[in-house]
Structure 1
Amino acid sequence: MTLAYIIVATLLGGLLSVLIAAQLTLSVLGRLVKSLVSLSAGVLLGTALLNVLPEAFEDATDSHGLFLTLLVGLLFFFLLEKAELYRHGHHHEGDDPHHHHHHGFDAEQAGKGGWTVLLGDSIHNFCDGIIIAAAFLSDPQLGLVTALAVILHEIPQEVGDYIVLLNAGFSRGRALLYNALSGLASVVGGVVGYLVVEPWKPLFPYLLVIAASSFIYVAVADLLPQLQRRLSLRATLAQLGWLAAGLGLVLLATRTLHHH
């Protein structure tokens, strides 16, 4: 039954964002991404700091080892970002008036890196699948909260990737298809995680800390910097509102699950 939960959770995380992108126009997608970035930042930070890390430290006695794992995890994701395999920008044509490039520059750049985006996204999704599997095997309630965090994070990321692929010259159909195939890597990661991780239950606290380091790094190094722009008071309040909504969603999910 646990494996079924893992497959459903990873499948939703991989395909839900693609279905959303398929129904919306580019202008709507552009506005949607900005709101979802704030929401997912709150969800990731809330999940990591209020659920995953407390669970990891509760089940382990080696706190120094866990903090070392957290440090190594943050450095690991930093190095993956350096290799352009973990994180990639959601920049698309004309989204920043301060970029003084000729028209079509973004398409040229995205065209060179379109396949790299798909490769990096597939690796990212595979890792997310392993993280979800480890969380479910540790505690089904923690697995549900972790899956929620991954799903909400995947939506703005995959929508952003879809925009990048369109600028790279992919047709709408091809961009959606390749994004969907990339999303299925999370299902593969979930199954592999279930088969490989279960025999190593003493390692669960360390795997949970690695998951938390992934969430924290993405939120702090990727999402929050996108929000640090000079905005009107109304736009700033909207950002804070979406961020608070993300935190509130995590707290609500945690309380609801603990009452069942």
Structure 2
Amino acid sequence: MERSTLFIWLAVLANGLAGLTGGLLSEHWLKRHLSALVAFAAGALLGAVFLEVLPEAVEALGTRAFYWALGSFVVLVLIEWFLGPHHHDHSQHEPGHHHREPLGSSTVVPSLLAADTLHNVGDGAAVAAAFLVSPQAGLTTALAIIAHELPQEVGDYALLRAAGFSRVRALLALGAVQLSAVIGAGAVLLGSQLVEGLEGIILALASGTFLYIGATDLLPELRRSSAPHEVRGRLLGFLLGLTLVAVAGAVERYVLGGHA
């Protein structure tokens, strides 16, 4: 338990640092490579769902895991239908892209940060639940979340900068939001001692969420017409995301399995 707890907090820290990456990159680089990063995130998320997160949830809950996963997927579909597209539309966050609503408006930035906060609470919960189930599930989940966090937070950083935030102010705002992952992780650590099977439920919910984000949010962006070199970059990014998750899980199982 102590080792799992250490891994959880290290993963939460790594996720938080990934969320601040945008401040270290030039806007020219972001504009050039953001679509490839989105493709990488899509590959990592979908790989995590089918290779690690959902199988671990099924092992913990049996076939009930599919009901929980489907439930989270349907809830996200309904939220998007009734509340409109969520803020993960990375094309609207690319440097130089003009958001439909004025960036100086009093609602854009608060709603962005509020949505990010809720998202990070869920990320922290998913990482904690995964590490409590097994180290390899935790590693795969953390990698998938960090892969998704990179393009998402890079896009959010670009949007805050376009809204008039200084570099320091934008990083401070995103850093404060990243701390909300601690709430999710802490809640799962506490709840797992009170509710039997909570880890499996959280993993099943996470698998439905990852599937929704990867399949309906990120992948459609990759089908947009673009220059051949961008298409190649997206394809490479997608395959690298899948490969990273698959290799990380295999290496972790090999090490823990005593080289079996």
**Same-fold status (TM-score > 0.5):** yes
Q: String of CA shifts for 1:61-84, please: whole Å, max 9, x gaps.
A: 3x1x32222221102223444546
The alignment status of 1:137 with 2:102, answered yes or no, reads: no
Q: Partner residue of 1:221? A: 216
The alignment covers a number of residue pairs equal to: 250
2-structure distance, mates of 1:21, 1:48: 26
Cα RMSD after superposing both structures: 2.2
Cα gap change, 1:93 to 1:247, in 2 (>3 Å): closer
Gaps of 5+ in 1: 97-103
Q: Indicate conservation of the 8 Å contact 2:126/2:185, yes or no.
A: yes
**Structure 1 counterpart of 2:102, from 90, 102, 108:** 108
1:89 corresponds to 2:89: yes
- Paired with 2:95 and 2:23, the residues of 1 have a C-alpha distance of 22
CA deviation digits over 1:104-129, x for unaligned, max 9?
Answer: 76571463311110010011001110
Question: Helix, strand or coil: the match of 1:200?
Answer: coil
Partner of 1:10: 12
Of stretches 167-176 and 43-52 in structure 1, the one that deviates more from structure 2 is: 167-176
Q: Which residue of 2 is the match for residue 239 of structure 1?
A: 234
1:85/1:116 contact within 8 Å kept: no
Using the alignment, how far apart are the partners of 1:240 and 1:93 within structure 2?
Answer: 19
Paired with 2:234 and 2:104, the residues of 1 have a C-alpha distance of: 28
Distance 2:29 2:224 in 1: 20
The residue that corresponds to 1:101 in the other structure is none
| Contact 1:56–1:206 (Cα < 8 Å) also in 2 | yes
When normalised by structure 2's length, the TM-score is 0.88
Taking the aligned partners of 1:200 and 1:252, their CA distance within structure 2 comes to 33
TM-score scaled by structure 1?
Answer: 0.88
Q: CA deviation at 1:172?
A: 1.6
In structure 2, the partner of 1:118 is 113
Matched ranges for 1:196-211 at <5 A: 196-211=191-206
Residue identity in the other structure for 1:184 = L
Provide the identity percentage.
36
Contact 2:36 2:230 in 1 (8 A): no
1:107 to 1:121, Cα distance in 2 relative to 1, 3 A: same
- Matches for 1:1-260 after TM superposition, within 5 Å: 1=2, 2-18=4-20, 20-61=21-62, 63=63, 65-81=64-80, 82-83=82-83, 87-90=87-90, 91-92=92-93, 108-109=102-103, 111=105, 112-260=107-255
